[in-house]
């Protein structure tokens, strides 16, 4: 603008003297500056909102060589291009003109083939299965009629880690799952187990994304706890053990410190449900994926001492909402895994399997059927009562035979669940709802009719089990008892927190029960009902069982890092402290003064009839023996609670059948 003004003045002052022209220019510029800087003539200032500047952070993490999965997905440039790949040798085939090396790094089940000239292969005598190498060469198109469209023409081989190929436990041949369980630290290097590790990671990622998109809050509940959620006594006890390498004085001091470390007995958690419920008052939806420990002696394909469980709690008044959440979550997960190509990778990794896990040539069809069944919608739902009727009808009509006779009292065994999931589910998962109250934990809300009145017979609780074909129960959920008075009664009837439930015979309102009247390790749980409780429900999903089902693995030990039997694995050092005889009787509600009869059912010593006293003592001994053998507490508790309602002839004949070791977890 200044230059334009000067030019204009120069034209205007044409013919005048240079001195006058300069004065005119100076005067005009001075006036223009004064006008521009004056607040009377200045333009109003516009205040803009603050701008959010995205700062770019330079990563300090070094960029490594591309992995095998990335290289296999990248077509070579015209004529090929130079790359370097790092991995371990899965197999090596030496021929006269060249050697073929199959490389893997866990990023994919597929191998990358590197072609080595004889001179290059002979120059590295340590090349063999298990050797870690870095190979540099030309990534180029493979000759026609090859399994892989591309291959690596090696130019240089750098051995990173050597191994004795003859002593290496993992050879080119097929290894059974039983053998691999004996080397859990090395079986991770096999293509199948490397794939399972990525599958676990991918499931964790997609589940976290699923809950985050739906505004769930992820929490980290404690692993060491004083609560036994299931009430079964099948728990690991935590204690401080002094090192044997110390002196005697140090050991004694450590023993005293151990006693002072925990005021109450502490255990490894069997479930995070109770702690998740503490978050419901402030957060409407919470979830966690954390390790869980069960001191069960059951050595079955469905049980391990340490496993991971996904648990969630939501505010709701309907059990249907909880089941809908489970169904939608699993279906969404399977869809994401299918899009990522995991099913095809699983089929490829198991193409050479010869064990019962793959079931020969039927494995691809069986696995595809599983994934298709999970994607079907909606999943059928059936009540426990209807399921029992179907089982009884099948037995009467001769369509099925069972080792355990189905009945309302004995519950659903593994063979019953398989029959229901196969016949009623037709290949898709099945929800079984409303189980008998006696077989379930104390915290479950009773089922009710549409008018809100509880049934007088066949009392059930608002719960469900999700049965998957072939594997069976993988998810369990329920509505939680949110009413203080009813919760205290349930705790009393299950032999828990007796002092807390001492007043259950009276009409108790939330404000009438003071915190001081509650003792024991569940007083905090009762406080959740006393102070602003809300209706809520939740579920627990066996994460390892789901992984086994998706991958076609028949034994949960093969998807767990733990490896071998329940006390084995990769350094599992957990000491099981089984409950004493008095503790077992207390959990069952049996008192010595009543000759072993369930006092919570009969209530008084006069109720014990003399003709039955001898058989009661026999029953007491039988119950304790079955507990020591590892029978599920639900079966024993069910037996005790039903004893008072059965005649002498009936229950004497029923005892051996009801106290059988339960197949179901």
pLDDT tens digits, 125-175: 778 899 999 999 999 999 888 888 999 999 999 999 998 888 889 888 888
Q: Which CATH class is domain 68-171?
A: mainly beta
The three-state (H, E, C) secondary structure of 27-84, written as one string:
HHHHHHHHHHHCCCCCCCCCCCCCCCCCCCCCCCCCCCCCCHHHHHCCCCCCCCEEEE
Average pLDDT rounded to a whole number, residues 411-433: 90
Find residue 132's DSSP bridge partners.
88, 161
Closest to 640 (Cα-Cα) out of 607, 608, 600: 600
Q: What distance in Å separates the CA atoms of residue 284 and residue 216, rounded to the nearest whole number?
A: 8
Q: What distance in Å separates the CA atoms of residue 23 and residue 443, rounded to the nearest whole number?
A: 98
For position 497, what pLDDT does the model report?
54
How is residue 24 written in tokens? 């005119």
pLDDT tens digits, 642-652: 443 443 433 33
For position 649, what pLDDT does the model report?
36
pLDDT tens digits, 205-229: 999 999 999 999 999 999 988 776 6
For position 500, what pLDDT does the model report?
42
Those residues whose C-beta lies under 8 Å from the C-beta of residue 137, and which sit 6 or more positions away, are 82, 83, 114, 152, 153, 154, 155, 156
Counting residues of the chain whose pLDDT is more than 70, the rounded percentage is 65
Whose tokens are 């109450």? That residue is: 264
Query: Is it the case that residue 96 has pLDDT exceeding 60?
Result: yes
Those residues whose C-beta lies under 8 Å from the C-beta of residue 599, and which sit 6 or more positions away, are 589, 590, 591
What is the DSSP track for 86-118? EEEEEEEEE-SS-EEEEEE-SS-SSPEEEEE-H
pLDDT tens digits, 547-583: 999 999 988 888 877 654 444 444 433 333 444 444 4
638 and 439 Cβ atoms separated by less than 8 Å: yes
pLDDT tens digits, 515-526: 433 334 688 899
pLDDT tens digits, 448-482: 754 455 655 558 999 999 999 888 899 999 999 99
| 3-state SS assignment for residue 413 | coil
Most confident range (mean pLDDT) of 196-200, 238-242, 413-417 is 196-200
Q: pLDDT category, 258, cuts 50, 70, 90?
A: low
For position 37, what pLDDT does the model report?
54
For position 576, what pLDDT does the model report?
36
What is the DSSP track for 303-366? --SEEEEEEEEEE-S-HHHHHHHHHHHHHHHHHHHHHTTHHHHHHHHTTT--STTTTGGGHHHH
Would you list the domain boundaries of the chain? 2-37, 68-171, 581-658
437 and 446 Cβ atoms separated by less than 8 Å: yes
Query: Is it the case that residue 492 has pLDDT exceeding 90?
Result: no
Average pLDDT rounded to a whole number, residues 285-314: 87
How is residue 62 written in tokens? 């070094």
Query: Is it the case that residue 194 has pLDDT exceeding 80?
Result: yes
The three-state (H, E, C) secondary structure of 581-649, written as one string:
HHHHHHHHCECHHHCCCEHHHHCCHHHCCHHHHHHHHHHHHHHHHHHHCCCCHHHHHHHHHHHCCCCHH
Average pLDDT rounded to a whole number, residues 320-342: 97
Average pLDDT rounded to a whole number, residues 326-345: 96
More confident residue, 501 or 71: 71
Average pLDDT rounded to a whole number, residues 76-84: 91
For position 83, what pLDDT does the model report?
94
Lowest mean pLDDT across 225-234, 366-375, 510-519, 626-635: 510-519
370 and 549 Cβ atoms separated by less than 8 Å: yes
Whole-Å CA distances, 6 to 1, 31, 37: 9, 13, 19
């Amino acid at each position: 603008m200044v230059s334009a003004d000067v030019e204009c003045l120069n034209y205007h002052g044409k013919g005048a003297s240079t001195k006058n022209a300069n004065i005119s220019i100076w005067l005009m510029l001075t006036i223009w500056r004064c006008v521009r800087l004056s607040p009377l003539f200045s333009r109003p200032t516009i205040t803009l909102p603050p701008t959010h500047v995205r700062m770019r952070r330079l990563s300090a993490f070094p960029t490594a060589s591309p992995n095998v999965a990335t290289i296999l997905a990248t077509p070579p440039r015209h004529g090929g291009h130079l790359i370097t790949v790092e991995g371990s040798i899965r197999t090596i085939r030496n021929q006269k003109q060249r050697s073929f090396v199959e490389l893997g790094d866990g990023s994919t089940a597929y191998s990358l083939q590197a072609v080595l000239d004889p001179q290059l292969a002979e120059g590295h005598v340590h090349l063999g299965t298990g050797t870690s190498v870095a190979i540099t060469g030309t990534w180029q198109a493979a000759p026609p009629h090859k399994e892989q469209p591309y291959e690596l023409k090696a130019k240089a081989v750098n051995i990173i880690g050597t191994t004795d190929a003859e002593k290496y436990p993992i050879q080119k041949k097929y290894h059974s799952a039983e053998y691999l369980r004996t080397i859990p630290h090395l079986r991770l290097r096999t293509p199948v187990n490397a794939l399972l590790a990525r599958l676990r990671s991918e499931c964790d990622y997609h589940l976290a994304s699923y809950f985050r998109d739906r505004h769930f809050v992820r929490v980290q509940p404690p692993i060491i706890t004083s609560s036994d959620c299931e009430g079964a006594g099948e728990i690991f006890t935590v204690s401080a053990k002094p090192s044997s390498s110390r002196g005697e004085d140090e050991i004694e001091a450590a023993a005293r410190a151990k006693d002072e470390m925990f005021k109450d007995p502490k255990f490894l958690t069997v479930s995070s449900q109770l702690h998740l419920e503490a978050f419901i008052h402030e957060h409407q939806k919470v979830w966690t994926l954390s390790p869980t420990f069960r001191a069960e002696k059951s050595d079955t394909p469905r049980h391990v001492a340490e496993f991971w469980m996904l648990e969630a709690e939501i505010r709701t008044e309907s059990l249907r909402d909880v089941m809908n959440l489970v169904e939608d979550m699993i279906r969404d997960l399977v869809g994401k895994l299918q899009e990522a190509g995991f099913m095809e990778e699983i089929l490829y990794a198991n193409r050479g399997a010869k064990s019962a896990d793959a079931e020969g040539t039927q494995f691809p069809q069986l696995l595809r059927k599983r994934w298709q069944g999970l994607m079907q919608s909606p999943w059928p739902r059936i009540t426990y009562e209807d399921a029992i009727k179907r089982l009884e009808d099948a037995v009467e009509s001769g369509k099925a035979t069972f080792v355990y006779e189905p009945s309302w009292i004995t519950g659903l065994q593994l063979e019953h669940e398989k029959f229901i999931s196969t016949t009623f589910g037709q290949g898709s998962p099945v929800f079984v709802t409303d189980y008998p109250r006696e077989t379930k934990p104390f915290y479950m809300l009773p089922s009710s009719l549409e008018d809100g009145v509880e049934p007088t017979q066949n009392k059930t609780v608002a719960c469900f089990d999700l049965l998957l074909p072939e594997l069976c129960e993988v998810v369990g959920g329920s509505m939680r008892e949110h009413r203080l008075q009813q919760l205290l009664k349930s705790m009393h009837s299950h032999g828990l927190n007796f002092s807390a439930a001492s007043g259950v015979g009276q009409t108790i309102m939330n404000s009438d029960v003071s915190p001081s009247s509650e003792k024991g390790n569940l007083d905090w749980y009762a406080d959740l009902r006393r102070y602003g409780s809300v209706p809520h429900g939740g579920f627990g999903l066996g994460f390892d069982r789901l992984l086994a089902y998706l991958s076609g693995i028949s034994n949960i030990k093969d998807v767990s890092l733990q490896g071998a039997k329940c006390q084995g694995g990769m350094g599992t050092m957990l000491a099981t402290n089984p409950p004493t005889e008095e503790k077992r009787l207390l959990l069952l509600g049996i008192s010595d003064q009543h000759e072993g009869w369930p006092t919570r059912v009969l209530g008084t010593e006069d109720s014990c009839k003399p003709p039955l006293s001898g058989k009661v003592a026999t029953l007491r001994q039988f119950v304790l023996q079955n507990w020591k053998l590892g029978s599920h507490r639900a079966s024993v508790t069910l037996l005790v609670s039903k004893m008072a309602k059965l005649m002498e002839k009936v229950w004497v004949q029923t005892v051996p059948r009801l106290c059988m070791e339960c197949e179901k977890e």
